[in-house]
Structure 1
Amino acid sequence: MSDIQNFDVVVVGGGPAGSTVGGLLAKAGHQVLILERERFPRYHIGESLVTGMTPLMEELGLVEELDRRFQHKSGISLRWGQDEQPWRSDFSAAGGTYTHAWHVTRSEFDELMLDNARSLGATVVEEAHVNEVLGADGGTVTGVVYTHGGQRHEIRSRYVVDASGQARTVARKMTETKWQDDLRNVAVWGYFDTYAPIENENDILVEAIEGGGWMWGIPLSKDKLSMGYVLSVEQMTAAARDGVGQRQLFLQGLASSSIAKTMVDADTEVELSTARDWSHLSDAFYGPGWVAVGDAAAFIDPLFSSGVWLGTSGAWLAARALDAALKSPADEEHALQRFDSVYRQLFNDILSYVRFFMDPSRRREEYMQRAQEVTQMYTQSSRVGFIALISGVGAVADLVDFDPMGMDGLREILTERAQKAKARAETAAAAL
């Protein structure tokens, strides 16, 4: 036996993307159900945010709480390329009010986001396991079936949003996914409680490692440093053939980096975690009855900490597109097409730049000039273009001003409707 319930929107996944789209749609007055597989708080990687998220955090009313709870992130310090000296980009140099982001403990941050979605009116069920996507076989998603506490629940909805991360609960049934073969990487990371501050204590430190790969250092607090080594699958496989395990490989990378200088009597026997093969792009971000956001839609190598920003930005766009579609079903296709177009452009801009930046043989000014070209920023400063791109600030106008039913779109829709009406009239006249 199972109960049957109806909602406007079901969101599969309660991480940052899911809680964003669910909370905003509930705030707009829609009936929203968020189904989260785990019980929060739960551990997650992806701990360094970017300033481009600030407008959304303002929309959600969370900036003051983030400032209170988490370490500020002022910029990025880089040891990368052919320049002998390390270099730094300060977020405040991009101008405007977005002078800092945050380094967050994701278990706490994600719980804050999900609780906020509840406070905005979304119904949230944790430890909910989605077993079936209704209508998937017929091409139009109409809801989901999930179990909770041993009970089966059937949910009917106008839309299902896939925010289930790498599980891609809906997207894997409805569209193809392309892995980025040149970004098939492995990350090995751990946490250290004894370290000296890096050059700029609020920065994330990113450093290319001789022989391949790169390392991050994220100061989550004064006594907790997140440190990871990202290298290609080929490097990891070759090391394994030579009998080099993950811990030894991590320590070799650490020994080759300047980050090692920050360690003070560090315990190298800390627990290490790994993740692999994460860079991907779905062929479609939406279809009849469904939308994908966050890692379920796309994810890029974490070089510039773009994961949470990209996921929540897509969720913000999706919330406005779905709000428009729910209020005016005839406008659904246009609203979702605009969502797809802007979201995909954000992804492609970051992806193209990450690929360029992954070559550590260039000079600093080359990286900055390319960033300026990618963002198409009309500025005299390539430095500003670089900061705007890696911080997400360059996309703020597209996100804040996103209107799924803009005037251009309205004209297109009215023209399309007029043409359809004319065709129907001609068909009817011919039948007389």
Structure 2
Amino acid sequence: MSRTENVDVVVVGGGPAGSTIGSLLAKSGHTVLILERETFPRYHIGESMVSGMAPLMEELGLIEELDARFQHKSGISLRWGRDPEPWRSDFSAAFSATGSHFTHAWHVTRSEFDQLMLDNARKLGATVHEAAHVTEILRDETGRVTGVAYTQDGESRRATGRFVVDASGQGRVLTRQMTETTWQEDLRNVAVWTYFDSYTPIEYKDDILVEAIQGGGWVWGIPLSDTRLSMGYVLSAGKLSEATRGGRTQGDVFLDCLESSHLARTMVDLGAVGELKTTRDWSHVCDTFHGPGWVAVGDSAAFIDPLFSSGVWLGTSAAWLAARAIGAALEDAEQEQLALERFDTLYRQMFKDILAYVRFFMDPTRLREEYEERALQIQKMVTQNSRVGFVSMISGVSAIADVVDFDPMNVEDVEDVMQDWDEQTAAASSTAGD
């Protein structure tokens, strides 16, 4: 007979979203079990954090450790748009406009960052099982999710709880079975990247570099340390397929990208390209982020093109919202549906805001002012200054207030947030016309 563990919340996946919701619920006094399929540390892409993560990192008590271990990120340097000259956005502009004491984000080695997050969940009281492979979703006679079956060390086990959270990333352990998924056909992209062990920094050495490449796609440069640089090329799956015909390799395509860039090629020795890595980053969103007994956060719920490094921020922000909603439902079972619906609404709106701006920004022929103005229109801004509006959009700052103050049982608070969003979305749509 398999061993069964009973807790308040079972979390499937120990990445940033899973460790965040596990940490917050455990910190609130709930019993939490996190099941992670792999053994940490493990490699992962997605190394540049946005400054909107800083309040969460502070709540989790990780600011000091992040500052000590990882490269600071103070802004984004772009070569994008009709103007051929590079331009920059400094994250401190958005922070100063809100009176925030935060000044930067971080570029991280994800194996170390994710290990830090998961260890912190343990420290805050969550139980963590690594190398735990979920094999079955458990449900009662009404169809409500009540737990999961999993294997660990060759042993079959079960974990039950009042809620199961799918934070399994692209594996989508629950959402593959519990809901339909909509794919963004215009964002079916592929990323090809490598690491350089030496590089020449750009003017603002802590910035992430983002540059549009003539012929399609864009390149990133992420300074992980003074000597290590992550550099990658994102292009449509169709363009990559076309470019690799006739015996050409992905390495050839990657070199062509760097050679045609104006900034990336000044940073690295093109003869020192190491082993290439590749992945699909097809943007998607689930039809629902919750159901009876379950909630989805992170990539298992939604994923957006990594143009603005929004992936970890979106996943951990959703985990923050979900922790509050689940916490409210655990306190009062009669409020479960209401709390989860409000979580779903706010999470979906954050996804829509970022997706709409990514699509607008994907046209690299506009003027810089157009990108800034659209960011102001499409997002709830912390100030009426368009430059700060742009920084807020790409750094995650603008949604902080709604995430921090989210109370799933406060009807007026949620309605006010949604009314603001509806008004701004209508304003953006009325001026779109392009």
Corresponding position of 1:57: 57
Corresponding position of 2:267: 262
- Kept in 2: contact 1:91–1:98 (CA 8 A): no
Corresponding position of 2:201: 197
Output the amino acid matched with 1:82: R
Output the amino acid matched with 1:86: P
Q: 2:347 aligns with which of 333, 340, 343?
A: 343
Q: Offset at 1:199?
A: 2.1
- Kept in 1: contact 2:180–2:287 (CA 8 A): yes
Quick one: distance in 1 between partners of 2:365 and 2:18? 39
- Kept in 2: contact 1:14–1:163 (CA 8 A): yes
Output the amino acid matched with 1:144: V
Quick one: distance in 2 between partners of 1:378 and 1:117? 31
Corresponding position of 1:367: 371
Output the amino acid matched with 1:397: A
Corresponding position of 2:66: 66
Quick one: distance in 2 between partners of 1:277 and 1:140? 31
Quick one: distance in 1 between partners of 2:401 and 2:300? 24
Corresponding position of 1:382: 386
Corresponding position of 2:287: 283
Q: 2:135 aligns with which of 111, 131, 134?
A: 131
Quick one: distance in 1 between partners of 2:257 and 2:115? 33
Output the amino acid matched with 2:6: N
Alpha-carbon displacement from aligned partner over 1:341-392 (angstroms, at most 9, x marks no partner): 1111111100000000000010100000000001143744211100011000
Question: Aligned pairs, how many?
Answer: 410
Alpha-carbon displacement from aligned partner over 1:45-98 (angstroms, at most 9, x marks no partner): 000001100110011000111001000000000000001210000000112323
1:20 aligns with 2:29: no
Q: Offset at 1:266?
A: 5.0
- Higher mean C-alpha displacement, 283-292 vs 134-143: 134-143
Corresponding position of 2:426: none
- Higher mean C-alpha displacement, 3-12 vs 219-228: 3-12
Equivalent residue runs for 1:110-259 within 5 Å = 110-135=114-139, 139-257=143-261, 258-259=263-264
1:48 aligns with 2:53: no
Quick one: distance in 1 between partners of 2:23 and 2:373? 38
TM-score normalised by length of structure 2: 0.92
The runs of at least 4 consecutive aligned structure 1 residues that moved more than 6 Å come to: none
- Kept in 1: contact 2:77–2:86 (CA 8 A): yes
- Kept in 1: contact 2:406–2:414 (CA 8 A): no
RMSD: 1.5
Judged with a 3 Å threshold, the aligned counterparts in structure 2 of structure 1 residues 235 and 26 are, in CA distance, closer, same or farther, namely same
Corresponding position of 1:423: none
Which protein has the larger Cα radius of gyration, Structure 1 or Structure 2?
1
Quick one: distance in 1 between partners of 2:399 and 2:281? 26
- Kept in 2: contact 1:218–1:225 (CA 8 A): yes
Corresponding position of 2:90: 90
Quick one: distance in 1 between partners of 2:43 and 2:270? 26
1:393 aligns with 2:372: no
Q: SS in structure 2 opposite 1:196?
A: coil
Corresponding position of 1:420: none
- Kept in 1: contact 2:139–2:145 (CA 8 A): yes
Q: SS in structure 1 opposite 2:373?
A: helix
- Kept in 2: contact 1:136–1:173 (CA 8 A): no
- Kept in 2: contact 1:188–1:246 (CA 8 A): yes
- Higher mean C-alpha displacement, 72-81 vs 130-139: 130-139
Output the amino acid matched with 1:66: L
Output the amino acid matched with 1:240: T
Quick one: distance in 2 between partners of 1:24 and 1:233? 38
Q: SS in structure 2 opposite 1:33?
A: strand
Alpha-carbon displacement from aligned partner over 1:290-311 (angstroms, at most 9, x marks no partner): 0000000001000000000000
Judged with a 3 Å threshold, the aligned counterparts in structure 2 of structure 1 residues 149 and 337 are, in CA distance, closer, same or farther, namely same
- Kept in 2: contact 1:75–1:203 (CA 8 A): yes
Alpha-carbon displacement from aligned partner over 1:104-133 (angstroms, at most 9, x marks no partner): 000000000000000010000000000001
Q: Offset at 1:157?
A: 1.1
Quick one: distance in 1 between partners of 2:67 and 2:321? 25
- Kept in 2: contact 1:195–1:266 (CA 8 A): no
- Kept in 1: contact 2:380–2:398 (CA 8 A): no
Quick one: distance in 2 between partners of 1:136 and 1:363? 56
Equivalent residue runs for 1:24-39 within 5 Å = 24-39=24-39
- Higher mean C-alpha displacement, 102-111 vs 378-387: 378-387
Q: Which consecutive unaligned segments of at least 5 residues does structure 1 have?
A: 412-432
